[in-house]
Structure 1
Amino acid sequence: MYVAVKGGEAAIDNAHRLLADRRRGDRSVPTLGLDQIAEQFALSVDRVMSEGSLYDRRLAALAIKQARGDLIEAIFLVRAYRTTLPRFGHSEPVDTGAMQVERRISACFKDLPGGQLLGPTFDYTHRLLDDELDGDPAVEPGALRDGAAEPATQIADILGGEGLIEEDPLAPGEPGDINQTPMEFPLSRAMRLQSLSRGDEGFLLALGYSTQRGYARSHPFVGEIRIGEVEVEVFVPELGFAVPVGRVQLTECQMVNQFKGSAKTPPQFTRGYGLVFGQSERKAMAMSLCDRALRAEELGEDIVAPPQDQEFVISHCDNVQATGFVEHLKLPHYVDFQAELGLVRTMRAEYEATRNEDVEIREAAE
């Protein structure tokens, strides 16, 4: 039970006004428009869409502006809005093999069919601050935006043609829905992938890094990373076939791992998979590393590290849940603390009394 604070409502109203004032900042500086955020802070928008589980660039930009650039708060806002939306159907599985690729690289094959397509990336830039960005950079509108005209063959299909990689381990049928189904462990791989896809990038990155440092059986290669747009289709019963309803940008990562095989399975490569909204390849890579680690029991490997423990990973990867649990500590806990304070005072008094008795016994013995 919390103790009511006199004048609390007025203080909260004032806090809201102060927040709005700080959000606006210096009035001599032009305010940011949502189109500016969506276009010029695109990677932040992509993260908010991915971890907010809602593909809408304008709403993600609005959330970033409202949250003053705090991406986890923006993700929370998008998630909250998402819960108000009606669910009237579901799309067909997207075909990433038919993706109109903007970026596509492989660390396994240099001369892969379709070629390496570097696309927009920080990979080859110098990590030096660029003063020329303090203004409009000299780039022609729409310059260098053309991607591959044709879909590119997936690396897993090339390895699969030689029987060197396992079949796609995703079970057929309904994948389940973490938003509609209570979470009970063990989860199916499809539901784990859903959770990882909207999991916190930093948390998954740390876990993925740990697998490379020996905290799981992992010797990964980036089979392929591809970024591009795919068509989304919805099956219409009245028509008897699926119709396209739009396009979304996705980042897909296929991680290839060594596997020595077992009594029933020959030596081959196994898969780790990552798929997220927008251009978020660091998140997709971390997701694929975690996905492979979480398949330890399925592949007959010993579970020896946190990234292989699905309850540990899935229960802690959601930054909205984590934020709520951590930040609730800011709420009034006056009654709880007074109870703890009384307990510590009592224990301290008992400790001092016992200590004094011991001192008197030693003095008497001397």
Structure 2
Amino acid sequence: MYVAVKGGERAIDNAHAWLAEERRGDLGVAEMSLEQIREQLSLAVNRVMAEGSLYDADLAALAIKQSRGDLIEAIFLIRAYRTTLPRFGASLPVETEEMACDRRISATFKDLPGGQILGPTFDYTHRLLDFKLAAEGQGGAAAEAPASGAPLPHVTEFLNKEGLIQQEVASDETPPDLTREPLEFPANRPLRLQSLTRGDEGFVLSMAYSTQRGYARNHAFVGELRIGRCAVEMEVPELGFAVEIGEIELTECETVNQFQGSKTEPAQFTRGYGLVFGQAERKAISMALVDRALRWEELGEDNVGSPAQDEEFVLSHADNIQATGFLEHIKLPHYVDFQSELELVRKLRAEATEAMSEAAE
């Protein structure tokens, strides 16, 4: 039977008040400002912007503060807010070759035009706690090396000149917009890339790791990883030409993958691709590995049954907001459903007990 919940609204109001109290914490500790979150927790801000599909560091910082640091909840807040924003038009494709790079590395070529730029990275740090950071005002010294402003060619173009890597064919067709249209299968590559770039970092990382462990036969090199700022341009019909409307920070990764050839393609290298808002190199590399695994049919490869090769499995489970909604709904009241199942189990047990008694007689 269904039992009505009394005092529900009052309980919910009290829960909200308690949440606000917990969010604020000890009143003797200074409240964290949005500027502090934006500037000092920038990687968390970048993740919220990327998976929330909204490039606005201030709003991402606000969402992180409101969610008490729960990044998936913050991403949910950003996506919900995004649906209320008007859309004025579409920007032109970003030219990442013209990126002003803070970081640009290659694991395939040592000597590059423009050089390797290590940039801000954890790669060369010792994973030891730095107790200097616990002392207020003991921040690190500012870096002196400026970002590279000169256009830097993509590393894969060196292979492309010799015909050693798969040619990427440009398309004039406008790709579908995953933020406005539901995901449908089969999904073309632009749609898959959109899904991966806003997919949960942990899930995409796990899928990528599975390909490295042999599930998909995907042996990859990081052809190039670059992080920097790109100009965003938009065509203005009244002017008849494109104008720069802003600048965004991006992380781009191209992987170079072995390919033994197929019935239609000669032996050559192939590519995986990842592009993410902000500094998010782990996500970009993971995205590139999964992208390559999902291209098996396009390249005429065999599907070896790897989860990372299953388009529907990967894309249907990558979205953390969809996953969270389905997961967390089971903690909400299901009294009627459970009572019906409870009565069914009682009936089955009673029938089984009765049958056992008759058999014993």
Asked whether the 8 Å contact 2:262–2:301 carries over to 1, the reply is: no
Distance 2:40 2:321 in 1: 25
Q: Comparing 147-156 with 116-125, which one deviates more in the overlay?
A: 147-156
CA shift, 1:139, in A, is: 3.0
Task: Provide closer, same or farther for how the CA distance between residues 138 and 34 of structure 1 changes in structure 2, counting only shifts above 3 A.
Answer: closer
Amino acid aligned to 2:320 = N
CA shift, 1:3, in A, is: 5.5
Q: Which residue of 2 aligns with 1:181?
A: 181
Q: Which residue of 2 aligns with 1:98?
A: 98
Secondary structure of 1:259's partner?
coil
CA shift, 1:251, in A, is: 0.2
Q: Which residue of 2 aligns with 1:208?
A: 208
Amino acid aligned to 2:326 = F
Q: Which residue of 2 aligns with 1:80?
A: 80
Matched ranges for 1:266-281 at <5 A: 266-281=266-281
CA shift, 1:138, in A, is: 4.5
Secondary structure of 2:22's partner?
helix
Q: Deviations over 1:52-95 (max 9, x none)?
A: 00000000000000000000000000000000001110100000
Secondary structure of 1:338's partner?
helix
Secondary structure of 2:242's partner?
strand
Distance 1:19 1:43 in 2: 25
Q: Which residue of 2 aligns with 1:350?
A: 351
Q: Comparing 80-89 with 161-170, which one deviates more in the overlay?
A: 161-170
Asked whether the 8 Å contact 2:133–2:139 carries over to 1, the reply is: no
Q: Which residue of 2 aligns with 1:364?
A: none
Distance 1:235 1:357 in 2: 83
CA shift, 1:113, in A, is: 1.9
Amino acid aligned to 2:268 = Q
Asked whether the 8 Å contact 2:265–2:299 carries over to 1, the reply is: no
Task: Provide closer, same or farther for how the CA distance between residues 324 and 59 of structure 1 changes in structure 2, counting only shifts above 3 A.
Answer: same
Secondary structure of 2:59's partner?
helix
Q: Which residue of 2 aligns with 1:241?
A: 241
Amino acid aligned to 1:206 = S
Q: Which residue of 2 aligns with 1:54?
A: 54
- CA RMSD between the two structures: 1.5
Asked whether the 8 Å contact 1:273–1:292 carries over to 2, the reply is: yes
Q: Which residue of 2 aligns with 1:318?
A: 319
Secondary structure of 1:268's partner?
coil
Q: TM-score, normalised by structure 2?
A: 0.96
Q: Which residue of 1 aligns with 2:230?
A: 230
Asked whether the 8 Å contact 2:49–2:55 carries over to 1, the reply is: yes
Distance 2:37 2:261 in 1: 49
Amino acid aligned to 1:24 = R
Asked whether the 8 Å contact 1:37–1:61 carries over to 2, the reply is: yes
Asked whether the 8 Å contact 1:2–1:332 carries over to 2, the reply is: no
CA shift, 1:176, in A, is: 1.4
CA shift, 1:169, in A, is: 4.7
Asked whether the 8 Å contact 1:2–1:333 carries over to 2, the reply is: no
Asked whether the 8 Å contact 1:170–1:189 carries over to 2, the reply is: no
CA shift, 1:258, in A, is: 0.7
Secondary structure of 1:47's partner?
helix
Matched ranges for 1:120-135 at <5 A: 120-134=120-134, 135=136
CA shift, 1:270, in A, is: 0.6
5+ long unaligned stretches in structure 2: none
Task: Provide closer, same or farther for how the CA distance between residues 238 and 46 of structure 1 changes in structure 2, counting only shifts above 3 A.
Answer: same
Task: Provide closer, same or farther for how the CA distance between residues 138 and 340 of structure 1 changes in structure 2, counting only shifts above 3 A.
Answer: closer
Q: Deviations over 1:156-181 (max 9, x none)?
A: 11110111111125533211111222
Q: Which residue of 1 aligns with 2:113?
A: 113
Distance 1:3 1:50 in 2: 43
Q: Comparing 165-174 with 69-78, which one deviates more in the overlay?
A: 165-174
Q: Is structure 2 residue 130 aligned with structure 1 residue 139?
A: no
Identity %: 64
CA shift, 1:147, in A, is: 1.4
Q: Comparing 148-157 with 52-61, which one deviates more in the overlay?
A: 148-157
Asked whether the 8 Å contact 1:103–1:120 carries over to 2, the reply is: yes
CA shift, 1:4, in A, is: 4.1
Amino acid aligned to 2:329 = H
Q: Deviations over 1:286-323 (max 9, x none)?
A: 11111111111111122211111111111110000100
Amino acid aligned to 1:327 = E
Q: Deviations over 1:224-281 (max 9, x none)?
A: 1000000000011111111100000000000111111123221111111000000000
Task: Provide closer, same or farther for how the CA distance between residues 73 and 35 of structure 1 changes in structure 2, counting only shifts above 3 A.
Answer: same
Q: Comparing 62-71 with 235-244, which one deviates more in the overlay?
A: 235-244
Distance 2:2 2:215 in 1: 43
Q: Comparing 253-262 with 62-71, which one deviates more in the overlay?
A: 253-262
Q: Which residue of 1 aligns with 2:44?
A: 44
Distance 2:221 2:39 in 1: 32
Secondary structure of 2:92's partner?
coil
Amino acid aligned to 1:329 = I
Distance 1:173 1:287 in 2: 23
Q: Which residue of 1 aligns with 2:287?
A: 287
Q: Which residue of 2 aligns with 1:162?
A: 162
Task: Provide closer, same or farther for how the CA distance between residues 172 and 219 of structure 1 changes in structure 2, counting only shifts above 3 A.
Answer: farther
Q: Deviations over 1:194-239 (max 9, x none)?
A: 1111000000000000011111120111001000000000011111
5+ long unaligned stretches in structure 1: 361-366
Q: TM-score, normalised by structure 1?
A: 0.95
Q: Which residue of 1 aligns with 2:308?
A: 307
Q: Which residue of 2 aligns with 1:331?
A: 332
Asked whether the 8 Å contact 2:47–2:278 carries over to 1, the reply is: yes
Q: Deviations over 1:31-67 (max 9, x none)?
A: 0000000000000000000000000000000000000
